[in-house]
Structure 1
């Protein structure tokens, strides 16, 4: 599994900012409701972040432990990695969409008597940013540091080339490609 590319996250965020802004312009023009998630979505985002952090810390503790009594369940490590990456991507989508809504609402800030939608968009965007940070952080937790051996990289590991170790990519905790 490849690590998340921050440039890809940035591009997704920019595309969704434009999409969120466009959707808000269209819904405002036709007197429809603003396409913002309800404030209760913050609770769901918080639960996702908490679960991701708990599983990530579990992998981090195993990784940093010097006395490993038992091996880490590879399925748990792989699921933690996938959850971390999904958390980062979902946070990017939410951040981009709600920044677009916020940018459109900003131009009519003084004309509205109720700025509740704008504050909800800001809160959801902030929650999306937290999801991105936690996703990237837990993804780092799942990386295994390079082994300190005197052997050259890739030596003694059948089927492995110099690809991962020499390039500095490292491996994930579940030791899968």
Structure 2
């Protein structure tokens, strides 16, 4: 499995931002509501972040030497996939709500700064945290390089647990 590419996360965020901005522009100019997630979605985001961290810490403890029992390789792979999905979802969430924020910022002189503007800021913060946690937990799943120097077969640097 390949490692996350920061460029892909930025590209996803930029494309989602453009889509969010354009969708919000069309929706609000035609009398529809702002297409944002409700603030209660931050609870779901926090739950996903917590689950990702719990599984990531289990893999990290095993990797750092607390090996009183074997690490299930399926659990390690699922943790890696969850971490990468968390990072991608965070970038998507961040980009979408950043696009909406930019459009709402332009309307600040016309309407109050209450609802969609601050909601977008909160959801952008959730997206940032989600992306960072995904990247950190992905790094937990990397195995350290072999230190014996003999070139023995096994895991090399950058491979996953």
Normalising by the smaller structure, the TM-score range is over 0.9
Tell me how many residue pairs correspond in the alignment. Answer: 161
SS of structure 2 residue aligned to 1:71:
coil
Q: 1:91 to 1:156 in 2, by over 3 A?
A: closer
> Which runs of 4 or more aligned residues in structure 1 lie more than 3 Å from their structure 2 counterparts after TM superposition?
none
- 1:38-53 equivalences under 5 Å are 38-53=38-53
Backbone CA RMSD of aligned residues = 1.3
Q: 1:31 to 1:156 in 2, by over 3 A?
A: closer
**Residue deviations 1:128-148, cap 9 Å, x none?**
000000000000000000011
In the TM superposition, residue 117 of structure 1 has moved relative to its aligned partner by 1.1
The residue that corresponds to 1:103 in the other structure is: 102
Distance 2:33 2:111 in 1: 14
- Give the unaligned 5+ runs of structure 1: 158-163
Map residues 77-88 of structure 1 onto 2, 5 A cutoff.
77-88=76-87
Q: Tell me the TM-score normalised to structure 2 length.
A: 0.95
1:29 positional shift: 1.4
TM-score, normalised on structure 1? 0.87
Distance 1:150 1:38 in 2: 54
Contact 1:15 1:96 (8 Å CA) reproduced: yes
